[in-house]
Amino acid sequence: MSAMTIEKPWQRWLIRLGVFVSMTILVVPGAWVVLTAFRQNIEILAKPAVWIPQELTLKNFQGIFGLLDTQQGLPVAQYFVNSLVISVTSTVVAIAVGMMGGYAFARYRFKGKGALFLGFMLSRTVPGVALSLPLFILWARLGLIDTSWGMILVYMSINIPFTIWLTDGFFRQIPIDLSEAAQIDGCTRWQAFWKVEFPLARAGLASAAIFAFLTSWNEYALASQLTRTTASKTMPVGLMDFTAQFTVDWAGMSAMAVLIIIPALVLTFIVQKHLIAGLTFGGVKG
């Protein structure tokens, strides 16, 4: 019997300090962007930098929506709708297809299973930027440049392999005996999946959904190459509207960045109970 290691108080405080420093490094850039969105322009451009704003203002948000007479607005609402439609559609399709694929890899044996799974995983190793030129040429010939459907197809192809890999791992953790027991009790194969296996894998599907959504919502490299007009531009691409040849509108860019952050935070809070929930499996004894 191995001796249990007792954590000393100084080790506990050292871990807490390390976590605090790490979280501070991660949070400070985001907090700076949020504060900049509510700062006056004179404070944004001040040298040395003003860390604590003297006065908070909503003019930066009003300006990007064209509610100020001194500033021309941008089609932020259209960019938001484009991003939402593209991200939600590609996420729903990726989860549906990825769930079926992950279940098939976890539960069934078929010829070429290992090679096919490896192919899916290798597709994730190719950087999106490397695909921009081939995709542009192919999409141009298919007439998908500057269309929402073109971006949806791109993000589906990016998210489906990752979703298959993630859901495959979760379905493998679910004992197949549970499904077989449900079928013995009178359930069909579909009912056993939907009533027994799916609820246990819900945490994994929620994790896959949040990753797929954030990938589609935040992606810039491919979207900047495959979109041209307001009809298809997404929020990250719209950030470039605040840049000119010699100047950058940091106030407007930060305000729009906050609008990009909000949906991601809302979605995270909605599914957080699934993200942090552990899977508890029962054993079935013969």
Condensed to tens digits (0 to 9), the pLDDT of residues 111-152 reads 888 888 888 888 878 877 788 888 999 999 999 999 999 999
119 lies in the same domain as 34: no
Domain that holds residue 143: 76-276
The residue out of 24, 57, 90 marking a domain boundary is: 57
Question: Is residue 161 a contact partner of residue 120, using CB atoms and an 8 Å limit?
Answer: yes
pLDDT band with cut points at 50, 70 and 90 for residue 80: very high
37 lies in the same domain as 85: no
Mean pLDDT (whole number) for 217-226 = 91
Q: Where are the beta strands (DSSP E) in 74-193?
A: none
- CATH code at position 106: 1.10.3720.10
pLDDT for 258 equals 93
Burial class (CB in 10 A: 0-12, 13-18, 19+), 15: exposed
47 lies in the same domain as 124: no
Mean of per-residue pLDDT scores for the chain:
84
133 lies in the same domain as 263: yes
pLDDT for 263 equals 87
What are the structure tokens assigned to 125, written together? 């190793």
Q: What is each CA distance from 127 to 87, 122, 130, in whole angstroms?
A: 19, 11, 5
pLDDT band with cut points at 50, 70 and 90 for residue 95: very high
Distance CA 279, CA 79 (A): 38
133 lies in the same domain as 23: no
198 lies in the same domain as 110: yes
Establish if 269 belongs to a structural domain. Answer: yes
> By C-alpha distance, which of 173, 162, 156 is closest to 106?
173
